[in-house]
A and B are shown apart, each in its own frame.
Chain A
Amino acid sequence: MSARDLLLFAARALRGHRLRSGLSLLGVAIGVAAVIALTALGEGARRYVVSQFSQIGTNLLIVLPGRTETSGGMPGFGGVPNDLTLADAEAVVRAVPEIDRAAPLVMGSETVAWGERQRQVALVGGTHEMLEVRRLALARGRFLPETPWDRGAAVAVLGQTLARELFPGTDPVGEVVRIGDWRMRVVGVLAPRGMQLGIDMDDVAVVPVATAMKMLNRRSLFRLLLQVRGHADIDRAREQVRRVLVERHGEEDVTVIAQDAVLSAFSSILGALTMALGGIAAISLAVAGVGIMNVMLVAVSERTREIGLLLALGAGRRQILAAFLAEAILLSTAGGLLGLAAGWGAVRGLVALFPALPAAPPAWAVAAALALSVAVGALFGVLPARRATRLDPVAALAGR
């Protein structure tokens, strides 16, 4: 008996009771769709986080003032940390050869005004290197000039939204704006960038870091971003940076984070979450398997006479086993394919609703869901099929 004949015979038998077959098939479809949709959701979350992180550059070390253990605590507990200064930043760059670029950052909030128009935005104090380190691009003009970090300048680069709001229909480059009490010449406009780790980079004004510190009256940097030459150097560079700063401050009062480590931690947590979601959804496949077993048991007892007849006609027991197993597998596989289509549709719907979430089922989940649906049919079909092959031909012919 050829495989084709076997499948046709099985399909024919299934069509004999469409409703019953359809319902048990639906069980598998729901299971597979759940696996697809849930893992897509988890994978989407993981991709979202990864993309957020990689927007701010790879091989990045982030230095923040204060130790993580104490910085979040009550004021007065643990010593007040020393300032993280521009001199610290320069010393680090000088002392650690693995560092390719450094971008000291200061953050604050200021009002930017041009003529009648004004807008409250995030004021970022940066340097020429920041363009590279933070993966920014210019729409117009230039970025901050390449000057020593401690030298201020009355220049500003505007984010896309800010530029549009203050200068509707006008080129802001070359114009002078008021930022707080300061007058600054606009030298460039950033290309659209969107949210970058919580800051809308389209709605900022960027000025030289020394100037920003004066404007905001800060003595400490908000962050020092260090771009390390190669991925392999990160751990060594991180240790050296820490040592240089401990030496300069006389105590350990900064935190150095490797962005990579944070990223991979998030990624693996979300990856595990995705697996867990897939696993939970896979349980519903087992439930669907029980449904298939039930349907096949009913089929076997309903078709006892037919089995007796097939035996009388000279069908081998293996062939009867194969025929009933084929039915179960056909059911579950059809359910799997239907579930795949439904799950894919659900993911498409999700993406349409939340375009920011790059939801897509991981390839392993799709493969596993399909393989599982076939396996469910084979596994839960064995018992009924074996029951069919164990029938005594004479008794079966009599319907017993």
Chain B
Amino acid sequence: MIRLEGISRTFRVGAEPVHALVQVSEEIAAGEHLAIMGPSGSGKSTLLHILGCLDRPDEGRYELLGRDVARLDETELSLVRRHTIGFVFQFFHLVPRLTAIENVELPMLFAGVEPEERRERARRRLDAVGLSPRADHRPDQLSGGERQRVALARATVLDPKLLLADEPTGNLDTHSGRQVLALLEEMNAAGLTLVVVTHDPAVARRARRILVLQDGRIVHRGSGERIGDALAVLQAAEDEERAG
């Protein structure tokens, strides 16, 4: 489903280049559940943004569903983001003035779905994340876990193929985090390809595969079953980081 070949992304801060990703190559199959770990600043979010077509690599080739993303123009990219990719963020990113159900309707609004159908589909998605009773609440009337579930409903309402989650449980207590994780897994089980950036071993261990990034490079490829290996590499990387 996804093929990355020699992806590099360099930011320039003043005269100093920051190599956020260096020669990253990876393949992600349809229906996979992949966790990305790594110390802070290792390039996890940058990788996720490139996968989500929100950012473009400076070097390398990104193929999504057999299409070379570099060749897509602005309009085609927005269509890919709309129909192929769903995003979940650490800070939920709900629109504060809109109710839960209106937030879920948002992608369909810009996709031009008719109002009745919009309402109906949003209601079904909210139901699936167990939030029907909160449909008319605004984000500030919801708990963190509820907000993330609304965000999850919104990210999947147009039935994307790929769900990208950047620290989806990073701002949640253990219980809410578990609820969100269970929902993610449920969707993955139904065929959705899932890529989760996380610091949380409890989240990462549920993934079939784990990647560990360090300084923009993939330094470890492992599995959720053998999370101990990944955590050891991560620990070493963080120690290295601290040592400077």
Contacts and interface: CB of A to CB of B under 8 A. Distances in A.
Nearest to B158: A314
Contact of B110 (A12, A13, A315, A394): A315
A2 B110 contact: no
A13 B97 contact: yes
Contact of A314 (B81, B89, B93, B97): B81
B78 A314 contact: yes
Contacts of B158: 314
Interface string A304-333: 011011111111110100000000000000
B51 to A, nearest CB: 12
Contacts of A306: 95
A280 B2 CA distance: 63
A313 B154 contact: yes
Contacts of A316: 74-75, 78, 110
Interface residues of B, number: 28
A313 B110 contact: yes
A313 B54 CA distance: 10
A311 B112 contact: no
B118 to A, nearest CB: 9
Given A305-B93, A313-B87, A397-B93, A9 B54 contact: no
Contacts of A311: 54, 78, 81
Majority secondary structure, A binding face: helix
A13 B87 CA distance: 23
Contact of A312 (B54, B83, B95, B97): B54
Contacts of B52: 312
B74 A317 contact: yes
Nearest to A312: B87
Interface in B161-181: none
A311 B79 CA distance: 10
A310 B110 contact: yes
Interface in B96-132: 97-98, 106-107, 109-112, 115
A343 interface: no
Contacts of A313: 81-82, 87, 106-107, 110, 154
Contacts of B80: 314
A191 to B, nearest CB: 66
Contacts of B81: 311-314
Contacts of A15: 97
A72 interface: no
Contacts of B87: 312-313
Contacts of B110: 1, 310, 313-316, 319
Given A316-B75, A393-B54, A309 B93 contact: yes
A314 B109 contact: no
Nearest to B166: A397
Contact of A2 (B54, B75, B89, B112): B112
Interface in B58-76: 74-75
B95 A394 contact: no
Contact of A394 (B49, B75, B82): B49
Counting chain A CB atoms within 10 Å of each CB, the highest count among B49, B97, B98, B115 belongs to: B97
17 contacts: A5-B112, A13-B97, A309-B93, A309-B95, A312-B52, A313-B110, A314-B85, A314-B107, A314-B158, A315-B82, A316-B74, A316-B75, A316-B78, A317-B74, A319-B110, A393-B55, A397-B93
Given A310-B110, A313-B87, 17 more contacts: A1-B110, A1-B111, A5-B109, A309-B93, A310-B106, A311-B78, A312-B52, A312-B54, A313-B110, A313-B154, A314-B110, A314-B111, A315-B78, A315-B110, A316-B74, A316-B78, A394-B49
Interface of B: 49, 52, 54-55, 74-75, 78-83, 85, 87, 89, 93, 95, 97-98, 106-107, 109-112, 115, 154, 158
Of all A-B residue pairs in the complex, the 5 with the closest CB atoms, nearest first, are A314-B82, A314-B81, A315-B110, A393-B54, A16-B97
